[in-house]
């Protein structure tokens, strides 16, 4: 029997942190359709609240399921239902992984290799992620705990080096467009937090208090986001409103000693973090799929999932505009709400009714 690797709550925290930072700060929709950078800072407060609501739902479902994943809880209802849920979550992770690869390639093609053919780069990234996902959650968790320290230190370093450029006047005016766009943007950001969905699946793989870890992750990330957005708004002002790679913009402005810009150092770390995110999502899609196909070997399932991710990438990475439309689409909101709240609540409710009936 295959040994089920487990990771500590801190390692899980690191994976989620890297994944979220990459997802949020690699690519941000131009604020022309949303908010000026000053108002984005306020957004983090409702974001924390919305994410805490979804976290509460996730924790409630996990608590009711015991230490099982949501797929195992669905399998308790019926085998076929369990299989359907496992396939649904696998597809969901493949989709999010494909979007992550597209987002990542958009960043790479813009800042690192503006004139190069990127299919090769994508294939290399997916091959590396495929290998990493085969190594399992332990390898990904351990690597990400090291990387999170490096990333944290480099973000702090960049924030310090750009602090000379900070202007308080850039933070004003606030609430220029009222509260509704802020709430809409907050919902947009919250419903891209695929990490909350991953907790539903990875719960049995985590040692320690997963509920406390998830809550602290949401709050910590909220604070970190606020800090980055304040510095971004204070340093870039209106220029920052149109930047689709916000953190990268900061690194371009940053200077240290003889180094006129620090973007390549940051891009390097960004590549590592993106690699971890894609590996984690491929691992999860493979893990979910194998819950319904117990006899299936890891390698072919993982390969199929990686090919699926490549397919989503091909579909979603046509142009910046088409990618923006896909990312901002209402379908993304629905996908998140169904995966993170509706389906887990439904499974929990059915299990609850079944238990009551049998009692």
Partner 1 sequence: MNKNTSEEKQYFTGDIKTDSNAVKNAFGGSFDLIAREILFGKTPIYIFIIDGMCDEIKIIEGVIKPLTEIYPETNSKNLNEKIQKRLFKGTSVKLLRTVEDAALDIIMGNLVLIADGETEAVSFPLQGFPKKSVSEPQTEQNERGAQEAFTDNFKDNTTLLRRKLRTPNLTIRHITLGKTSNTPTLICYLSDRVSRELLDKITKRIDKIDLDAILGSGYIQPFLDNRRPSFFTDTGITERPDTFASMLLEGRVGIIVDGTPFALIVPYLFIDYFHAVDDYLSSPYYALFMRILRIVCFIIASTLPGTFVAICLFHPEIMPADIMYGISAATSRTPFPIMIEALTIHFIYEIVREAGLRMPRSVGHAVSIVGALVIGDAAVTAGLIAAPMLIIVALTAISSSVIVKLHEPVAIMRFGFILIGGFTGLYGIMLGIGLMLIDICSVSPYGIPFSAPVSPFVLKAQSDVFFRRNWTKIKNKKLIQGMKF
Q: Is 147 in the site for partner 1 (CB under 8 A)?
A: yes
Closest approach, Cβ 342 to partner 1, in A, equals 35
Residues 30, 66, 268, 311: which binds partner 1 (CB under 8 A)? 268
Residue among 25 and 280 whose Cβ is closer to partner 1:
280
The torsion angle over the Cα atoms of residues 165, 170, 171 and 174, rounded to 10 degrees, is: -170
CA dihedral (153, 221, 236, 174) positive or negative = negative
- Residue number, 121 or 227, with CB nearest to partner 1: 121
In the complex, what is the shortest distance from the CB of residue 42 to partner 1, in angstroms, rounded to a whole number? 35
| CA distances in angstroms from 5 to 139, 241, 286, listed in the order given | 9, 43, 14
Output 132 or 230, the one with its CB closest to partner 1: 132
Q: Which of these segments, 52-60, 77-85, 255-263, 349-357, binds partner 1 (CB under 8 A)?
A: 255-263
Asked whether position 307 contacts partner 1 by CB under 8 A, the answer is: no
Q: What letter does residue 286 receive in the DSSP assignment?
A: H
**8 Å CB contact between 304 and 131:** no
Residues numbered 24-43 forming contacts with partner 1, rule: CB under 8 A: none
Strand partners, 259: 256
**Residue whose entry in the numeric block shows the structure tokens 């993304």:** 332
131, 220, 256, 352: which one binds partner 1 (CB under 8 A): 131
C-alpha span between 251 and 188 (Å, rounded) = 25
The reply to whether 255 sits near partner 1 by the rule CB under 8 A is: no
Exposure string of 108-147, with b = 16+ CB inside 10 Å and e = fewer, is bbebbeeeeeeeebbeebbeebbebbbebbbbbbbbbbeb
H or E element that contains 206: strand 206-207
Q: Which of 219, 269, 314, 345 binds partner 1 (CB under 8 A)?
A: 269
Residue 143 in contact with partner 1, rule: CB under 8 A: yes
Does residue 259 bind partner 1 (CB under 8 A)? yes
> Interface with partner 1 includes 146 (CB under 8 A)?
yes
135 forms part of the interface with partner 1 (CB under 8 A): yes
Looking at 86-94, 120-128, 182-190, 195-203, which segment touches partner 1 (CB under 8 A)? 120-128
Q: What is the residue whose two structure tokens read 């209106």?
A: 238
Binder to partner 1 among 22, 23, 140, 193 (CB under 8 A)? 140
**Contact present, 203 and 210 (Cβ < 8 Å):** yes
How far is residue 66's CA from residue 61's CA, in Å, rounded to a whole number? Answer: 9
Q: Is 276 in the site for partner 1 (CB under 8 A)?
A: yes
Options 272, 304, 320, 346; binder of partner 1; rule CB under 8 A: 272
Nearest to 314 by CA among 129, 133, 128, 123: 123
Q: How far is the CB of 117 from partner 1 (least distance, A)?
A: 11
Alpha-carbon distances of 176 from 34, 36, 37, 42, rounded to whole Å: 12, 8, 11, 12
12, two tokens: 């899980």
Residue 11 binds to partner 1 (criterion: CB under 8 A): yes
305 neighbors 96 (Cβ within 8 angstroms): no
Contact flag: residue 8 with partner 1 (CB under 8 A)? yes
The nearer residue to partner 1, 239 or 256, going by C-beta atoms, is: 256
Residues in the site for partner 1, rule: CB under 8 A?
8, 10-11, 108, 112-113, 120-121, 124-125, 128, 131-132, 135-136, 138-143, 145-147, 258-261, 264, 267-269, 271-272, 275-276, 279
């Amino acid at each position: 029997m295959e040994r089920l690797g487990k990771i500590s709550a801190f390692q899980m925290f690191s994976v989620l942190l890297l994944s979220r930072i990459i997802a949020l700060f690699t690519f941000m929709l131009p604020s022309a359709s949303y908010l000026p950078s000053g108002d984005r800072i306020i957004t983090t407060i409702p974001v924390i609240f919305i994410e805490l609501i979804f976290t509460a739902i996730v924790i409630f479902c996990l608590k009711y399921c015991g230490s099982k994943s949501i797929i195992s809880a669905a399998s308790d209802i019926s085998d076929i239902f369990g299989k359907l849920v496992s396939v649904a979550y696998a597809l969901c992770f493949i989709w999010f992984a494909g979007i992550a690869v597209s987002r990542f390639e958009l960043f790479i093609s813009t800042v690192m290799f503006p004139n190069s053919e990127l299919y090769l780069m994508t294939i290399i990234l997916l091959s590396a992620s495929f290998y990493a996902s085969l190594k399992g959650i332990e390898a990904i968790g351990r690597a990400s705990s090291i990387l999170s320290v490096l990333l944290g230190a480099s973000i702090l370093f960049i924030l310090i080096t750009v602090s000379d450029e900070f202007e308080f006047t850039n933070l004003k005016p606030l609430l220029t467009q009222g509260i509704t766009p802020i709430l809409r943007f907050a919902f947009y950001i919250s419903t891209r937090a695929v990490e909350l969905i991953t907790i539903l699946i990875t719960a049995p793989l985590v040692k320690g208090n997963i509920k406390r870890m998830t809550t602290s992750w949401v709050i910590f990330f909220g604070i970190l986001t606020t800090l980055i957005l304040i510095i971004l708004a204070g340093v870039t002002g209106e220029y920052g409103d149109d930047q689709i790679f916000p953190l990268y913009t900061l690194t371009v402005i940053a200077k240290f000693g003889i180094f006129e810009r620090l973007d390549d150092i940051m891009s390097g770390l960004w590549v590592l973090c993106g690699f971890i995110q894609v590996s984690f999502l491929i691992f999860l899609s493979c893990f979910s799929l194998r819950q319904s196909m117990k006899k299936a070997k890891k390698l072919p399932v993982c390969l199929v999932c990686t090919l699926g991710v490549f397919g989503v990438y091909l579909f979603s990475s046509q142009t910046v505009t088409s990618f923006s439309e896909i990312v901002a689409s209402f379908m993304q909101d629905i996908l998140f709400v169904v995966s993170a709240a509706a389906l887990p609540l439904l499974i929990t409710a059915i299990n609850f009714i079944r238990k009551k009936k049998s009692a």
